[in-house]
Structure 1
Amino acid sequence: MPSDAVSADPLRQVFFGDLHIHSSYSFDAYTMGVRAYPKDAYVYARGGKILHGVGYPVQIDRPLDFAAVSDHAEYLGIARRKAELEEPAKATESHDTALRAALQGYAYEYLWRFMREGMRSSSGEARARNFGVPELAGASRDAWEDIARAASEHNVPGSFSTFIAYEWSSMPEDQHLHRVVLYGDEKVLAMPWSSLESENPEDLWRELERQRGSGHSVIAIPHNSNLSNGLMFSDRKYDGTPLSRELAELRSRIEPVSEIFQVKGQSETHPDLSPSDEFADFELVEQPVMADAPQREVKGSYVRDALRLGMELQHAQGFNPYRFGVIGSTDSHNATSPANEADYHGKLPLLDGTPGLRLGAYSPQVHERTTMHRWSAMGLAAVWAQENTRASLFAAILRKETYATSGSRLRLRFFAGWDYPEGMAQSARAIDVAYAQGVPMGGVLNGGTGQSPDFFIWAAKDPEGANLDRVQVIKGWVDSSGNSHEKVYDVAASGLRERDASGGRLAAVGNTVDVVRGRYTNSIGDAELRTIWRDPDYRPEQQAFYYARALEIPTPRWSTYDAVKLGMPVPDPAWIQERAVSSAIWIKSLQ
């Protein structure tokens, strides 16, 4: 169906998707038991059943609106082809055999050797591309063609959108500088440009800028900045020299959004960076796969801190490389989207593909040596677009009208404008007025000389999920000396709650989680929260950003559901508060 036949909504609809899914063409996915192809990922995303890497059927609770298979460009398809050539029987080995290998630690050890000996010590073009085996020379090209073909065959404008993508997986000294490279149409290169060409993100940006100059629609989406050891959002270039205006502007063009929720933790903020934020300790992962790896530097690794740094750079040097929006995605390596706490099935099948593996009921040596029991069932990308087509979704991502969820499908809208009319929040025409007289999430509002802008925030619960606890606005600003600050405001809350005795924090919403049975009830919280809010601390001379965060009432974590299934003690934390985080709105001062 051509795009012009799709019904477009000028006030935009929200579409939920996953732009970070791996299939068996990724080296680590294949070695950890995945046999699914890109087409299987799209079958799953559209609501069909596929086979999990350890042999049981999996099916998403609700179909997604869009998806992208983004396999690692490095050694793309090589592990699978190598197995098919060397041991054809094992290339499609039974799940029982594969699971036994996992329990004995063989698959885990093989993966580690592959990464360490293959990726890290490669030397020479043949070694780097195909391990010196001529028969593997065409494996990556064949895999890339299959990825593009699967996206084309499963793209249904108006119903389900697909994107051609891959992951650029730079890991200097185990510091995660990974990006998903996402194309807006079917015009792609014959082969992905990988970190085997360069581990320097600046070289990736220049390559993608070259592609854009040749007519390609392409962006890069950083992820797992929480594991970057402070390198993802720095005030320095990759070589340690000061950041330049040219590079800042290039990065802004190439990376309009960043992934902040996924299986390997959240990258919104950290308690050390936001000590006054009582919800900053959500789903923290501070080490990569190995449990004995050193914890990562937090400064430069989280998005809120990056937004603050961007304003500091704007104040001091006149440019801001960090005016980006946010999304979530899962980073599943099993051709699925495991973002549902109640039906979590892990990231890498032979590492965390069953409740027993995840909680250490068996294969305790793998459980103890890895961080996978701290991984999360999250997240999803939410995009406000006129229609469910590649072009419309990609345009929305470029303008940053996006938000990230930890897996819930709660709705969140966030606008800023001057002099929104009284009573607008409850008006049936609220969205019309919000667009006509202001800007949505991801936008820039020119500053005023008087009182605060009006912020319109609207959140609605996931129709099949938990009620809402509260909606917050997070503000960041720079003072006259160029130092940045932040503050969290509770702007709407369920029930008739008041501040605590000190007049500080809002009273907790309560908790209905039954840890013994792995259940909760919606007897607390509200289905919808909406308000017009004005910043009581607004200063027209200050550069500032604002973003919205909506929190659900407490619900059981995946580890609680797993423990109940196995009859094991429930580990901490037993419950979490799912959430959505909007892209920011920047207020541009007139001074």
Structure 2
Amino acid sequence: MKLAICSVGVVLLLAGCSPVEDPTLYPKYDPDKAVQPPVKAAVAENPDRHLLWGDVHIHTSFSTDAYVMGVRGLPDDAYRFAKGGEIAHAAEYGIRISRPLDFAAVTDHSEFLGVVRGMQPDLPLSDRSLRTRLIEDGPISNTLAWIRTMVGFDPKVGQVEGGKESMADAWQEIIASAERNYEPGTFTTFIGYEWSSMPDKNNLHRNVLYRGSMVPDAPFSSTISQNPKDLWDELEKQREQGMDNLAIPHNGNVSGGLMYGDKTFDGSAMDAAYAERRMRNEPLSEIFQVKGTSETHPALSPDDPFADFEIFDTILSAKIRKSEPKGGYARDALRLGIEMSHSENFNPYKFGVIGSTDSHNASSPVEEDNYHGKLPLLDGTAGIRLGKTILLPEKYRISRRWGAAGLAAVWATANTRESIFDAMRRKETYASSGPRIVVRFFGGWNYPSDLIDRAERITLAEASGVPMGGELPPATDAAPSFAVWAVKDPESGNLDRIQIIKGWVDEQGQSHERIYDVALSDGRVKDPTSGRVPEVGNTVDAKTASYTNTIGDVQLSAVWKDPDFRPEQTAFYYARVIEIPTPRWSTYDAAKLGEEPMDPVSIQERAVTSAIWYQAAEEPGEGVGN
């Protein structure tokens, strides 16, 4: 018979109730014994560019939702974690990432920034420590009251004593921490914040990053305006004053279809000026993070067998509702963009992609076998995440469908703010769901079939083409070639395949998409009759949360020419690299607790590159929206 808790705050010795987690699974954090960040060598300037990994979407206790959910970490903790050092989780156990990142940004919500922390309100957590509530007690006493406090909290700065001062102090600490932790050549920090527009609970959030140390006296807040155009007004004014910046939309998957719609925020029609402003201010979109993926959706890409990956489409409001897929996913946005290029002569959706976590634990929880959640009261331990030691109503058990994701991959000449920012601006970036898969992707004309085997392949690829994020000039009759190569993450699964996803617009202005498998592991080939590719297999052992790299390949590559190219059709192309199946975080958690794993037991992690665009010659909108 196990010690069990069957109701909030009541401990009973009864069989069949939810067991309390073993506290030895979560050794208490000891700062004197904490692992220090490793010493890293600085990288030198490289014109062929370095691959740098980062997370530019990290929250600390300065964010209202993080603080109310128990987080007490500060920006210095976030940067210590990103550098590979150990920090305290909100439940007081130690957490660290297995390999340091190259860059990071703390992007706390600008709305009421630091106000709740400054107030130190008498919330339910004050009764007992979060560690006691999560690990030692089991179910959390007053959990629902706590969550209602978080959901309903709407402080008015003018009514909160010291609110404005708390906001100013928090912003200055975010700036100071970024400056303290910036180590050019070794580790890069960006000063930033999150603008959190939520009309009718639909997510229209943007993360704002600054290229240097010149930043405004205060971040722009959605309490001033929820309209993205007003944010752009502010960012454009700041750039005129020497504060270079950009904004990165995220979580289009829960935007209610508004993130990438065919109308502006106020419902008016888009025009060329709007498209140009959107792309100048928002050259990137975040498509992988804890709250689901925003690449594509099965309803939008029914012929894509890999579209159903870490889909999260629940909008939290007074009534739980599903988010509209149309207008919420990047591939659909790219298709809408080329349709508008065809019909309207402008393209508001010529953006690149990255991943980042949206962690609220002052950390980057991207590793499936080392996952520690997003919001402690909802997913701070394995038992809570799997619904074994906390009996939350179904409405609040959303963390089971959150994922351990994602990371931003940037091809930059140096590990500095300027170089990484400029790479983001030119969209030479890609998104990973977590693993550090190396991917290069170029498009050009008349690439030799052995390009990838040549020592000077980067120089040759750029001489007659462009890297990911670029645009090919109009063609006469030759089809473009694409060179793509990928190398597995040495600490993750082998590679299953490389795909190139093409979207194009026909003469009637209708867009289409097609997926080409351009490189397959294990010598597999398509069935000549059905066109299907045999599955790579699955070595995952659910009971032990393990797998073997006996299938798949360490690296894959291809030089591929579009067999269906028509020079009069505007198109985009991007690469997607897919791993063999590996255990999901929930499978690792289940093995830790000795429980049966939930579905899906395994997932196929991936990397998705920024697109390369081809603009047809007869379309006068060529180049608009760059």
TM-score, normalised to structure 2, is 0.89
Q: Give matches, 1:324-343, under 5 Å.
A: 324-343=351-370
Query: Would you say how many aligned residue pairs link Structure 1 and Structure 2?
Result: 577
Q: Do the aligned partners of residues 290 and 55 (structure 1) sit closer, same or farther apart at CA in structure 2, a change above 3 Å counting? A: farther
Q: Do the aligned partners of residues 281 and 500 (structure 1) sit closer, same or farther apart at CA in structure 2, a change above 3 Å counting? A: same
Q: Aligned pair 1:129/2:157, yes or no?
A: yes
Q: Which runs of 5+ in 1 are unaligned?
A: 119-126
Give the corresponding residue for 2:88: 51
Between 1:432-441 and 1:367-376, the stretch displaced more is: 367-376
Q: Do the aligned partners of residues 88 and 289 (structure 1) sit closer, same or farther apart at CA in structure 2, a change above 3 Å counting? A: closer
- For the Cα contact (< 8 Å) 1:227–1:287, is it kept in 2? yes
Shift of the alpha carbon at 1:454?
1.0
User: CA separation in 2, counterparts of 1:545 and 1:409?
Assistant: 25
Give the corresponding residue for 1:173: 200
Shift of the alpha carbon at 1:314?
0.9
Identity %: 53
Between 1:397-406 and 1:461-470, the stretch displaced more is: 461-470
Q: Do the aligned partners of residues 103 and 554 (structure 1) sit closer, same or farther apart at CA in structure 2, a change above 3 Å counting? A: same
- For the Cα contact (< 8 Å) 2:590–2:597, is it kept in 1? yes
Q: Pick one of 45, 56, 68 that aligns with 1:19.
A: 56
- For the Cα contact (< 8 Å) 1:72–1:169, is it kept in 2? yes
User: CA separation in 2, counterparts of 1:105 and 1:450?
Assistant: 70
Give the corresponding residue for 1:158: 185
User: CA separation in 1, counterparts of 2:184 and 2:252?
Assistant: 32
Q: Pick one of 115, 119, 122 that aligns with 1:78.
A: 115
- For the Cα contact (< 8 Å) 1:72–1:167, is it kept in 2? yes
User: CA separation in 1, counterparts of 2:612 and 2:291?
Assistant: 27
Q: Aligned pair 1:442/2:478, yes or no?
A: no
User: CA separation in 2, counterparts of 1:277 and 1:88?
Assistant: 46
Give the corresponding residue for 1:123: none
User: CA separation in 1, counterparts of 2:124 and 2:148?
Assistant: 22
Q: Pick one of 444, 463, 473 that aligns with 2:490.
A: 463
Q: Do the aligned partners of residues 211 and 99 (structure 1) sit closer, same or farther apart at CA in structure 2, a change above 3 Å counting? A: farther
Q: Pick one of 244, 252, 265 that aligns with 1:217.
A: 244
CA RMSD of aligned residues (A): 1.9
Q: Do the aligned partners of residues 296 and 49 (structure 1) sit closer, same or farther apart at CA in structure 2, a change above 3 Å counting? A: same
Give the corresponding residue for 1:10: 47
- For the Cα contact (< 8 Å) 1:426–1:530, is it kept in 2? no
Q: Pick one of 433, 436, 439 that aligns with 1:409.
A: 436
Q: Pick one of 479, 483, 488 that aligns with 2:515.
A: 488
Shift of the alpha carbon at 1:414?
0.5
- For the Cα contact (< 8 Å) 2:134–2:140, is it kept in 1? no
Q: Do the aligned partners of residues 588 and 561 (structure 1) sit closer, same or farther apart at CA in structure 2, a change above 3 Å counting? A: same
Give the corresponding residue for 2:335: 308
- What letter is aligned with 1:283? E
Q: Give matches, 1:99-110, under 5 Å.
A: 103-104=139-140, 106-107=142-143, 109-110=145-146
* Secondary structure in structure 2 of the residue aligned to 1:16: strand
Shift of the alpha carbon at 1:31?
0.8
Q: Aligned pair 1:190/2:227, yes or no?
A: no
Deviation string 1:488-531 (CA, Å, 9 cap, x unpaired) is 00000111212247432211111111111100011011111111
* Secondary structure in structure 2 of the residue aligned to 1:134: coil
Q: Give matches, 1:416-431, under 5 Å.
A: 416-431=443-458
* Secondary structure in structure 1 of the residue aligned to 2:499: strand
Q: Pick one of 513, 523, 537 that aligns with 2:550.
A: 523
Shift of the alpha carbon at 1:94?
5.9
TM-score, normalised to structure 1, is 0.94
Give the corresponding residue for 2:5: none
User: CA separation in 2, counterparts of 1:563 and 1:242?
Assistant: 50
- For the Cα contact (< 8 Å) 2:135–2:381, is it kept in 1? no
User: CA separation in 1, counterparts of 2:193 and 2:393?
Assistant: 28
Deviation string 1:421-451 (CA, Å, 9 cap, x unpaired) is 2311222221221122210000001021123
User: CA separation in 1, counterparts of 2:506 and 2:118?
Assistant: 57
* Secondary structure in structure 2 of the residue aligned to 1:415: strand
* Secondary structure in structure 2 of the residue aligned to 1:148: helix
- For the Cα contact (< 8 Å) 2:133–2:141, is it kept in 1? no
Deviation string 1:64-116 (CA, Å, 9 cap, x unpaired) is 000000000011101111116x6899399563257679833635533433433
User: CA separation in 2, counterparts of 1:14 and 1:111?
Assistant: 40
- For the Cα contact (< 8 Å) 1:351–1:366, is it kept in 2? no
Give the corresponding residue for 1:122: none
- For the Cα contact (< 8 Å) 2:134–2:381, is it kept in 1? no
Shift of the alpha carbon at 1:368?
5.3
Give the corresponding residue for 1:121: none
Q: Do the aligned partners of residues 551 and 345 (structure 1) sit closer, same or farther apart at CA in structure 2, a change above 3 Å counting? A: same
Q: Do the aligned partners of residues 254 and 105 (structure 1) sit closer, same or farther apart at CA in structure 2, a change above 3 Å counting? A: farther
User: CA separation in 2, counterparts of 1:488 and 1:215?
Assistant: 43
* Secondary structure in structure 1 of the residue aligned to 2:315: coil
Shift of the alpha carbon at 1:320?
0.5
User: CA separation in 1, counterparts of 2:147 and 2:254?
Assistant: 20
- What letter is aligned with 1:78? V
User: CA separation in 1, counterparts of 2:240 and 2:232?
Assistant: 12
User: CA separation in 1, counterparts of 2:138 and 2:337?
Assistant: 44
- What letter is aligned with 2:314? Q
Q: Do the aligned partners of residues 160 and 196 (structure 1) sit closer, same or farther apart at CA in structure 2, a change above 3 Å counting? A: same
Q: Aligned pair 1:580/2:596, yes or no?
A: no
Q: Aligned pair 1:322/2:349, yes or no?
A: yes
User: CA separation in 2, counterparts of 1:232 and 1:283?
Assistant: 19
Shift of the alpha carbon at 1:396?
0.0
* Secondary structure in structure 1 of the residue aligned to 2:156: helix
Q: Aligned pair 1:506/2:506, yes or no?
A: no
Shift of the alpha carbon at 1:290?
6.6
Q: Aligned pair 1:115/2:147, yes or no?
A: no
